[in-house]
Each structure stands twice: as structure tokens, then as C-alpha cells.
């Protein structure tokens, strides 16, 4: 009995010990995660801690490339400033996936960390995807948005692609070279080396000089970050904390309204949400959009959005019809030619073309009804004749015959360019 009691006592003590141990381990694990952020107050320190790629046997080329950066420290620190809104998110993703931190420097080489950079080669975004590569990786590109410039979508696609390349080549330098050159070219270079009995590592491969220089450039930037004093570069610190928060948008909304409700500038909005091609965030039921806002502005936006009662969208896509001028489109949508041209980036002396998609004010049904009622009320102050359309008639000829304009006839009759024999048109005489 005493033995049983002693055994039970030992069992209880053991359970208590292991329970406390597991609780302690959980607490330690959680503390380690927090310490990862708290220990590195400067994000560059956290980045350095995750560097994993060795420098080449001959470091002269790395130093030469690094010196070319250090000779223009203002330009280098401009890149650092560009990276500030995005770097924490990318570092977090690389840590989560167990990838080397050097990959966070690829946008330095590709885009100088500017997601809106213009390129002659049709590449776009932080990670500079070609249109076809972007489509293969699931990055949607349409009149409303280009996900190659979307910070979250493009980063996820780039890291997925690099992980795929690493699994294929089992070497991060080869994966990074293939990201730049294409996996087919790297595979062929490996096959040639295998055929000749040569090693298959990055430095022994006969790759094009541009592809090798791409990897060397990345390693040179890494060397500057590790040895900034050697290069005479003072790298401005970046706080090791999230810059933005993500918000799911399930309904279309004007970008101007987002900036107003979030109390941010259009420049700041575009820096975090560079994917949008138009003045509206288009949303479908099947695909909500992810909106990025500065961490300090998220709650402001959500609170203001909750109390906002007016329509959230004031623009829509319009396809230009046959023989339709921009003046007619402006009249129909109660706006001006100047505003349409400005919003759609149409040159001052250019007109629209058949089938062209442009952004026009969204005319709400209630507004249309109000405008029609207003027109009828205005017409009561004038004498109106009814003209019946005959075979061969055109709006131009009818307008000329009655001393008015095509746009006026369309406005009086709320009609378009198409006429049918027997159609009744109201012609107003003042």
C-alpha cells in the first residue's frame, strides 16, 4: 500500500514536472519569437544574421562592384530609403520559409526597391517579372491592376519561384542565376559541365557574363551591408517592426476615397499599393483585393469606412463605340473632355478610338433620373418640334438642317449615334 502510494506520488510529481516543462518550453519558444524582433532593433542587423551565401574565391570582383556602389553613397541610401516600407515583410517571409536573407537584396538589383519603376523590357514591380512569367506564376494583369507590382502577390510569387529553382538545382547561387537568366539556360550549362566531367557549382559553370555579374552584384550589396565601414558607406537604420497592415477589400472603392478615409497622401498609397492602373479598386465576389495601409492608419481607415454612407465608387470602364468622339462621351457622362483626357492619360490633341477602354464617371441610376427630369423641366420653357427620321438621314444632316448640333439632339433625346427609320426626335427651338 505504501509502495502504491509512493508510486502514485512519484507519478503525480512526474506529471507535474513534465507539465511545467512543456509550459516552460512553450513560453521559451514564444519568447524566442519576440526576442527575434526585440533583439534586432535595426532591421539590417536581423538581415545580416540570416545571410548564408559565401563570397567567391576571388573577392576582387565583389570589391570592385561594391566600390561602384560606394562611390555614390547618396544613390545607395536612396535605395535603402525605398526599401523601408517593404523590407520587414520580405525578411519575415524569408525567415518563415527558411530562405537565405540575401534574397531580400534581389529587389535592390532588379528595381532599386521601386515597385513603380519603368522598364523598357516590359518587366514590372519590385521583383521585375516579365508579363508571361507573371501569368505563369498566377499574377493577374488586366486593365484594373497588375499584380506584378502588387507587394504581397509579387513577393509570394518571387519566393515561390526561387524555392522551386532551389529544389531543381540544389544550390542558391544557381537558383538566383536562373531567376535572372532562366532555368533552361542554367540547365543547359549544367548538362555541358556534366558531359565534360566538370563540377556543377556556380563558379565553374560557363554562364553568360551578365548572369554571373547578377549574382556577384547581389553578393557585393551583401558585402556593403556587412562591411559598410570598409566601403565608407553609412547605411541609414530601418526599424525592425512592420511598416504596413493588410486589409481585405470586398467591395469596389475609389482610391481617392481610401486616401481620404485613411488620412494618407496619394503618394503613400501608391507606394504601398502600386498595382492599380485606374482610379478604382475593382473587386469581384470571387477575388477580394488586399489593401496595404501604414500600420498607424489602419484603424483610422476602418473607423471612417464604417461610418461612411455615400457611394464608394464614382468611376467605371467604358468601351468607345463606333464614330464616337470624346466630346460625346464627356457629355453623356456629365463631365468634361479635359477631365477624361487627364484621368485616362490621353494626349491633348488625341481622340479616342473604336473599342478603346476608358475610365468615365459612374452615373448612378438616381442621378440619371434626376438629370432626365431636369432636362424635361428645362424643355418646357422652349418650343419643341418632332422630327421623324427618314431613310438616309444622319444626325449631322438633321442637326445642320435645324441649326443645332449633334450633341444637342442626343442630349434632348437621351440617345446615341444610331438612327432608325421612323424614329421620332425632339428638336428644340428657343
> Over the stretch 34-87, which tens digit does the pLDDT of each residue have?
555 556 789 999 999 999 999 887 788 899 999 998 888 888 999 999 999 999
Confidence at 10, pLDDT banded by 50, 70, 90: very low
Kindly state the percentage of the chain with pLDDT values over 90. 47
Structural fold of domain 382-430 = Membrane-bound Lytic Murein Transglycosylase D; Chain A (3.10.350)
Do the Cβ atoms of 153 and 139 come closer than 8 Å?
yes
Q: Which residue has the cell 432626365?
A: 372
- The per-residue pLDDT of the chain, averaged, comes to 83
Q: In DSSP terms, which residues pair with 388 in a beta bridge?
A: 424
Confidence at 376, pLDDT banded by 50, 70, 90: low
Q: How many CB atoms lie within 10 A of CB 369?
A: 10
Helix or strand holding residue 195 (H, E): helix 183-196
Question: Residue 23 pLDDT > 50, yes or no?
Answer: no
Q: What angle do CA 336, 387, 385 make, to 5 degrees?
A: 80
Residue 274's pLDDT is what? 96
d(CA 353, CA 356): 6
**SS3 of residue 58 by DSSP:** coil
Q: In DSSP terms, which residues pair with 313 in a beta bridge?
A: none
From 110, 183, 266, 397, the catalytic residue: 110
d(CA 194, CA 40): 44
Q: List the end-to-end C-alpha distance of the chain, in Å, as a whole number.
A: 117
Q: What angle do CA 87, 93, 97 make, to 5 degrees?
A: 145
User: In terms of C-beta distances under 8 Å and separation of at least 24 residues, what long-range contacts does 125-128 make, across chains too?
Assistant: 125/149, 125/150, 125/154, 125/274, 126/86, 126/151, 126/154, 126/155, 126/158, 127/154, 127/155, 127/157, 127/158
Confidence at 375, pLDDT banded by 50, 70, 90: low
Kindly state the percentage of the chain with pLDDT values over 70. 84
Would the pTM of this model clear 0.95, i.e. be above it? no
Question: Residue 333 pLDDT > 90, yes or no?
Answer: no
Question: Residue 33 pLDDT > 60, yes or no?
Answer: no
Residue (of 316, 325, 319, 318) closest to 417 by Cα position: 325
The 10s digit of each residue's pLDDT in 253-310 is 999 999 999 999 999 999 999 999 888 898 876 788 999 999 999 999 999 999 998 8
Out of 116-125, 156-165, 404-413, the most confident range is: 156-165
Question: Would you list the domain boundaries of the chain?
Answer: 43-231, 244-313, 382-430
Give buried/exposed letters for 320-332 (b at 16+ CB in 10 A, else e): beeebebbbbbbb
Residue 19's pLDDT is what? 41
Report the interhelical angle of 172-181 vs 183-196 (nearest 10°): 130
Do the Cβ atoms of 186 and 175 come closer than 8 Å?
no
The 10s digit of each residue's pLDDT in 302-311 is 999 999 988 8
Structural fold of domain 43-231 = Lysozyme (1.10.530)
Question: Residue 147 pLDDT > 50, yes or no?
Answer: yes
- DSSP one-letter string for 348-417: TT----TT-EEEEE---HHHHHHHHHHHHHHHTTSEEEEEE--TT--HHHHHHHTTS-HHHHHHHHT--S
Confidence at 102, pLDDT banded by 50, 70, 90: very high
Question: Residue 18 pLDDT > 90, yes or no?
Answer: no
Question: Residue 26 pLDDT > 50, yes or no?
Answer: no
Question: Residue 13 pLDDT > 50, yes or no?
Answer: no
Average pLDDT rounded to a whole number, residues 407-425: 74
Q: Which residues, including other chains, have CB under 8 Å from residue 270's CB and lie 6 or more apart?
A: 116
Average pLDDT rounded to a whole number, residues 131-159: 95
Do the Cβ atoms of 248 and 287 come closer than 8 Å?
no
Out of 181-190, 323-332, 342-351, 395-404, the most confident range is: 181-190
Question: Residue 171 pLDDT > 80, yes or no?
Answer: yes
Cell of 129: 517579372
The 10s digit of each residue's pLDDT in 192-242 is 988 887 887 888 888 899 989 999 999 999 999 999 999 999 999 999 999
Residue (of 62, 397, 92, 86) closest to 238 by Cα position: 86
Average pLDDT rounded to a whole number, residues 361-370: 56
Out of 55-64, 254-263, 318-327, 377-386, the most confident range is: 254-263
The 10s digit of each residue's pLDDT in 229-260 is 999 999 999 999 999 999 999 888 999 999 99
Specify the range with the lowest mean pLDDT, choosing from 59-63, 317-321, 422-426: 422-426
Q: Is 74 a catalytic residue?
A: no
Q: What angle do CA 336, 340, 345 make, to 5 degrees?
A: 150
Give buried/exposed letters for 141-171 (b at 16+ CB in 10 A, else e): beebbbbbbbbbbbbbbbbebbeebbeebeb
Confidence at 430, pLDDT banded by 50, 70, 90: low
Confidence at 426, pLDDT banded by 50, 70, 90: confident
Amino acid at each position: 500500500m505504501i509502495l502504491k502510494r509512493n508510486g502514485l506520488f512519484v507519478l503525480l510529481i512526474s506529471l507535474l514536472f513534465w507539465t511545467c516543462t512543456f509550459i516552460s518550453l512553450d513560453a521559451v519558444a514564444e519568447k524566442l519569437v519576440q526576442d527575434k524582433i526585440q533583439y534586432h532593433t535595426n532591421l539590417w542587423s536581423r538581415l545580416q544574421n540570416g545571410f548564408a551565401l559565401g563570397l567567391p574565391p576571388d573577392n576582387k570582383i565583389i570589391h570592385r562592384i561594391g566600390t561602384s556602389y560606394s562611390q555614390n553613397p547618396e544613390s545607395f541610401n536612396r535605395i535603402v530609403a525605398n526599401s523601408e516600407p517593404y523590407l520587414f515583410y520580405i525578411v519575415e517571409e524569408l525567415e518563415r520559409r527558411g530562405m537565405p536573407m540575401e534574397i531580400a537584396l534581389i529587389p535592390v538589383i532588379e528595381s532599386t526597391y521601386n515597385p513603380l519603376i519603368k522598364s523598357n523590357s516590359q518587366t514590372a514591380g519590385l521583383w521585375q517579372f516579365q508579363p508571361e512569367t507573371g501569368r505563369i506564376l498566377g499574377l493577374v494583369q488586366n486593365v484594373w491592376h497588375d499584380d506584378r507590382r502588387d507587394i504581397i502577390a509579387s513577393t509570394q510569387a518571387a519566393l515561390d519561384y526561387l524555392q522551386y529553382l532551389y529544389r531543381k538545382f540544389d544550390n542558391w547561387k544557381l537558383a538566383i542565376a536562373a531567376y535572372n537568366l532562366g532555368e533552361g539556360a542554367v540547365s543547359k550549362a549544367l548538362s555541358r559541365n556534366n558531359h565534360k566531367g566538370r563540377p556543377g557549382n556556380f563558379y565553374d559553370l560557363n554562364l553568360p557574363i551578365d548572369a554571373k555579374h547578377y549574382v556577384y552584384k547581389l553578393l557585393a550589396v551583401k558585402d556593403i551591408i556587412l562591411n559598410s565601414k570598409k566601403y565608407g558607406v553609412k547605411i541609414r537604420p530601418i526599424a525592425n517592426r512592420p511598416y504596413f497592415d493588410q486589409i481585405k477589400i470586398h467591395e469596389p472603392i475609389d482610391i481617392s476615397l481610401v486616401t481620404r478615409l485613411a488620412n494618407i497622401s496619394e503618394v503613400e498609397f501608391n507606394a504601398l499599393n502600386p498595382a492599380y492602373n485606374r482610379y478604382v479598386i475593382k473587386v469581384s465576389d470571387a477575388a477580394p483585393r488586399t489593401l496595404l495601409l501604414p500600420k498607424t492608419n489602419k484603424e483610422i481607415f476602418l473607423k471612417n469606412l464604417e461610418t461612411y454612407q455615400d457611394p464608394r465608387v464614382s468611376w467605371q470602364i467604358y468601351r468607345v463605340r463606333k464614330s464616337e468622339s470624346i466630346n460625346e462621351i464627356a457629355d453623356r457622362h456629365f463631365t468634361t473632355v479635359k477631365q477624361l483626357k487627364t484621368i485616362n492619360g490621353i494626349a491633348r490633341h488625341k481622340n479616342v478610338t473604336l473599342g478603346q477602354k476608358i475610365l468615365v464617371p459612374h452615373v448612378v441610376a438616381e442621378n440619371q433620373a434626376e438629370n432626365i427630369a431636369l432636362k424635361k423641366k428645362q424643355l418646357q420653357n422652349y418650343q419643341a418640334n418632332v422630327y421623324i427620321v427618314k431613310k438616309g438621314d444622319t444626325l449631322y444632316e438633321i442637326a445642320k438642317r435645324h441649326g443645332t448640333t449633334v450633341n444637342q439632339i442626343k442630349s434632348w433625346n437621351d440617345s446615341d449615334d444610331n438612327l432608325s427609320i421612323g424614329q421620332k426626335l425632339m428638336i428644340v427651338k428657343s
